[in-house]
Structure 1
Amino acid sequence: MTLTLISKAFAQDQPIPKKYARAGENLFPPLTWSGAPEETRSFALMVEDPDAPHGTFRHCGIANIPAQWCALAESVDTAPEQAPRFYKNDFGNARYDGPQPPAGDRPHHYIFRLAALDVPKLSTPDAAGISAMWAEAKKHALAEATVTGTYQTH
């Protein structure tokens, strides 16, 4: 079975609704996945915009998602303390911050990357940021799945 990732909020390569954008309600879009390898002990997620003017911009990083989970609810960042760990995004916030491309730019692509990991927790410090967390996650990845949405500021 192959790891798959989908969102009920948007289809693959389709626009992300404004309520999930930073200028909207800035809500985390709901995600569900299936097909994780049996050896999975946790998951990590990263949301990035490779079309940003100054290089790839990371909007969200979450690690230590329990292996038994198969979804992240809308606005998962409002979950209880035992929730997975958020890492500082490129806005400087340890939470989800939605799409915010410059006005007039062509639509940007927002890639939601989920990795099934062979460890129950990553030890990367929160302050290390998403890039460091994802680099550590890649060392333990058993499988990876993506779903991509687009967003344009008019």
Structure 2
Amino acid sequence: MGRHLTVFIIALAAVFAACAEEKEMAKSLTVKSAFENGGKIPAKYTCDGEDISPPLYIEGLREDVKSLVIICEDPDAPMGVFTHWIAWNVEPTSEIPENVPKTKFVDEPKMVQGRNDFGKVGYNGPCPPSGEHRYYFRIYAIDTLLQGDYSRQELLRAIEGHILQYGEIYGLYSRSR
């Protein structure tokens, strides 16, 4: 019995090691912006300012990436996760410039944008009703181009099994009254 248990434990350890290695490989992008990770998001990128998308700088992108996906969300919203921006079929690039046009199809860099939880296409920035909230900007590097129109949940389902790399940055914002 002891021998079988030892073999089982070794096999289980190998599975955990493989999962950890796969997760580490997938989370291999570095994402930077106009704010430090965990720092305050400048008002310019919020409803209290110009409400334009911040620049996103992506480091470590593999050559076999076919497209990027952007999801910006607030997990601290009163009604649950609030989506501020979704985009897919973003051409692989090391920089998403600030002030991406709020149109479904964008030419530079090429991308398709969906509706956020404000009911608008493109980016709408932090606008918390009270307190300080966290805003995550997640970049997924995938091995395909997507067909269709997506909500945040549909987009997450569509990229399952296609993620080659992943990275994120988050910022904080609270409104002064």
Instruction: Tell me the TM-score normalised to structure 1 length.
Output: 0.88
Amino acid at match of 2:146: L
Hey, which bits of structure 1, 4+ residues long, moved more than 6 A? none
Residues 65-144 of structure 1 aligned to structure 2 (within 5 Å): 65-67=90-92, 69-77=93-101, 81-82=106-107, 83-102=110-129, 105-119=130-144, 121-125=145-149, 128-144=150-166
The Cα of 1:81 is off from its aligned counterpart by 4.3
Aligned length: 147
Task: Specify which structure has the higher proportion of helix.
Answer: 2
Q: Corresponding residue for 2:88?
A: 63
- Can you list the C-alpha shifts for 1:15-65, whole angstroms capped at 9, x where unaligned? 101110023110100111011223211100000000000000000001111
2:102–2:123 CA contact under 8 A, matched in 1: no
The superposition leaves residues 86-110 of structure 1 with CA deviations (integer Å, 9 ceiling, x where unpaired) of: 01100111110000100xx321000
Aligned-pair identity (%): 34
Tell me which residue corresponds to 1:150. 172
Distance 1:118 1:10 in 2: 29
**SS of residue in 1 equivalent to 2:52:** coil
Query: Residue 4 of structure 1 aligns with which residue?
Result: 30
Distance 1:124 1:139 in 2: 17
Secondary structure of the 1:85 match is: strand
- The answer for unaligned runs of 5 or more in structure 2 is 1-24
The structure carrying a bigger strand percent of its residues is 1
What runs of 5+ residues in structure 1 fail to find an aligned partner?
none
- Larger relative contact order, structure 1 or 2 (CA cutoff 8 Å, min sep 6): 1
Q: Summarize deviations over 1:72-125 as a string: whole Å, max 9, x none.
A: 1011226884330001100111110000100xx321000000000001x21131
> Could you tell me which amino acid in structure 2 is paired with residue 91 of structure 1?
F
Letter in 2 for 1:129: S
**Distance in 1, Cα, partners of 2:101 & 2:151:** 16
Q: Is 1:40–2:65 an aligned residue pair?
A: yes
Secondary structure of 2:98's aligned partner: coil
Paired with 1:6 and 1:135, the residues of 2 have a C-alpha distance of 25
SS in 2 for 1:33: strand
